[in-house]
Structure 1
């Protein structure tokens, strides 16, 4: 009777045709042995180069895909996307996965050895808790490392699906005698098993790979893909995302999905069949060059071309988005952002499988999106809950998040604001146009407060001064952007009265501000600066007036 792979290898087996790839099937049961647990790191050139990091546990290899590979610098937090379990005999695999197979490309055994847990004694339990600390005894990797989960805390020990927040981890070097910030992974490109590089493997006719003298019939999956490509719809031109209507309170309804509101830059991403990527903000700005790490988005999707909707975020160690960190990334590092990588939180599929999906219901679009994610690349799936908006809103408040978004399960996608999508904010928060600043007082430098307003039909209406929420770096950075815009006349419809001398600017910059409420005369109470918003058009900034939830839902 033919052996079956362990249950945790079912996803691995479903993705592969073992008559067409030399990868091990995992059908042979692992031998029990009392020895140190083993690890392997495989350098893998598939759609993009990455490193497959695998730890032996429970008779399989628990696996993570690391785009940039391990580092010996304690300040480097390397994104590690958890993928399906692999069989133990995969640790010796080195060769070529043929075109047409999952993960096609060259593979070498980049490093191998043993490891031991530094906390606890059960890897599966450590994965469930979201934190593994271990010491590695490899030919290249030595010393203590940590794998820390950065997404949602509710998950099982095994990865769920092919991608999403439950799969996002960070690989971090712990402090010990092996720390070496100068160590470069590019200088260590040879296999520890054969001494070969990926290029050597690609040129080696003896490398394990699939060959046949007869042309094999395409698999059902390949036939289906070819049929779709034979009658594909043209890629649509999508110029702006669908926007949510602000409402005043959360609600519960089984006909609605509820998502966390991600605090970042809203962006539409288009990934072509050749893997090229174009990313555009909600007001048409090209983000492709500003976030070069997102060129690896192609790794995240099994099928291309696709067009997806999502949010560009910087996540903290607990998986929470920080818009201030995102803004600092752009101000401080420009394109490179070496120590502040971004994650693209994707929550909608607009084009895929050769079809324009915008007229499909949201529920179908989300299911299709989850079905094509690979778990690789700088991507996290924006999850949702069904029906329970009040509980998710309470969680957002508890975790210090911006709020939640409600989306009708049957909603189709339109490039405008819609009442079928609604947003509920924990704090009053919106964008304002900067029309000037006041002189600094006391020990503060650069400026005292920003003078802000919103547009209505008659012009720019003054809404108040914002004097808190700044540190020295923000004051200097904002002042540098304000001075070139200075002018002699006020841009506001009515010139505001200020406690300190005012300087006026052209209304070209947008600030995001939190506040407690609007006064009866249209002024902000207790405003606090959050960040500048380069992705918003000043001419579109108007006062948000949340509608009563009961009138819509």
Structure 2
């Protein structure tokens, strides 16, 4: 009969105390190694415009009127990135300070940088003025804007883009609950979306945004996020101006264009919404962009005297509807958007 093999003792010295293997000290320069690589930049999820909100499947909040930003928080570094991927940390110091206080966890917040008027409404014009939209010091002025955070893309070593929205929202609320500084939670409104939209319009707000409860975070306009506006507001290219007959150094209206395939199409003019003190600055900016070619940048059959300019400046325009011949109805100027913001210029269907 074969003898069983002798078992080896667990310890050479049965009387010796049990000790674990010595561990190396943690490198203080790496306080939290991520489980998932932290993305250097993420293209934002964008909302699709709808005339009326669907009844089910979405969470609803206020649509903020400002600059879309992603705030990246890492050990020793905070970045405030625009839609175009430009770092505007130096322009939003209050947001950077609030983001630093949220650390040391690695975080990417999605939200809107805004400023509020006396009635508590987000005001794009105030934000533009604080950032030097007149052109006197582009890219240099700082803004006291706050961030209304509405999504959490990355948290404490975990990439949350593959996690459903309801779970991301739960984590975001835990992170920002009770925060009243320069980074605040964009609140979910638990009510019928049609009623929410009606009240938003009565209060003079821009509209509401809905997010599909079980959707993951997908960049671009996928339909996971939708928006319903009280008034339409889009970005258009400034292609010329009508000189003012009353005052020198100003203008009577701006001529606007949208993309139409690979070309530009004239969509009308805007003559309201300008602050008296800013018209001369805007006129000076346009005069530096004088159009030197014989044919204007768009087809134009009007009889007005027009000074054409290079289609470089992007204007945010509020309007009520479109006319039957493809022009903006009751447009009003809200402000200039900066190239670094990567605002999507309106595209007319072919």
Q: CA offsets per residue over residues 226-280 of structure 1, 9 Å max, x none?
A: xx94552111133421101111113422x21011100000011101122x21111
Q: What are the ranges of 5 or more consecutive residues in structure 2 without an aligned counterpart?
A: 1-30
Q: Are 1:309 and 2:119 an aligned pair? A: no
Q: Are 1:492 and 2:297 an aligned pair? A: yes
* Cα deviation, residue 292, structure 1: 2.5
* Mapped partners of 2:52, 2:281: distance in 1: 36
Contact 1:460 1:491 (8 Å CA) reproduced: no
Change (3 A) 1:347 1:389: same
Q: Name the SS of the counterpart of 1:252 in structure 2.
A: coil
* Cα deviation, residue 485, structure 1: 1.2
Q: Name the SS of the counterpart of 2:268 in structure 1.
A: strand
* Cα deviation, residue 427, structure 1: 0.9
1:367 aligned to which of 145, 155, 170: 170
Contact 1:245 1:418 (8 Å CA) reproduced: yes
* Cα deviation, residue 297, structure 1: 2.8
* Cα deviation, residue 298, structure 1: 2.5
Contact 1:256 1:386 (8 Å CA) reproduced: no
Q: CA offsets per residue over residues 184-209 of structure 1, 9 Å max, x none?
A: xxxxxxxxxxxxxxxxxxxxxxxxxx
Contact 2:237 2:311 (8 Å CA) reproduced: yes
| Counterpart residue number, 1:421 | 225
RMSD: 2.3
* Mapped partners of 2:186, 2:323: distance in 1: 36
| Counterpart residue number, 1:291 | 92
What is the TM-score with the length of structure 2 in the denominator? 0.82
Q: Are 1:328 and 2:129 an aligned pair? A: yes
Larger RCO of the pair (alpha carbons < 8 Å, separation 6+): 2
List aligned pairs for 1:141-180, cutoff 5 A.
none
Contact 1:233 1:354 (8 Å CA) reproduced: yes
Q: CA offsets per residue over residues 113-160 of structure 1, 9 Å max, x none?
A: xxxxxxxxxxxxxxxxxxxxxxxxxxxxxxxxxxxxxxxxxxxxxxxx
* Mapped partners of 1:290, 1:360: distance in 2: 31
* Mapped partners of 1:470, 1:532: distance in 2: 11
Q: CA offsets per residue over residues 40-83 of structure 1, 9 Å max, x none?
A: xxxxxxxxxxxxxxxxxxxxxxxxxxxxxxxxxxxxxxxxxxxx
Q: Which is strand-richer, 1 or 2? A: 1
Contact 1:292 1:336 (8 Å CA) reproduced: no
What is the TM-score with the length of structure 1 in the denominator? 0.53
Q: Are 1:243 and 2:46 an aligned pair? A: yes
Q: Are 1:355 and 2:189 an aligned pair? A: no
Contact 1:512 1:533 (8 Å CA) reproduced: yes
Aligned residues: 312
* Mapped partners of 1:457, 1:517: distance in 2: 21
* Mapped partners of 1:280, 1:399: distance in 2: 30
* Cα deviation, residue 522, structure 1: 0.9
Change (3 A) 1:444 1:497: farther
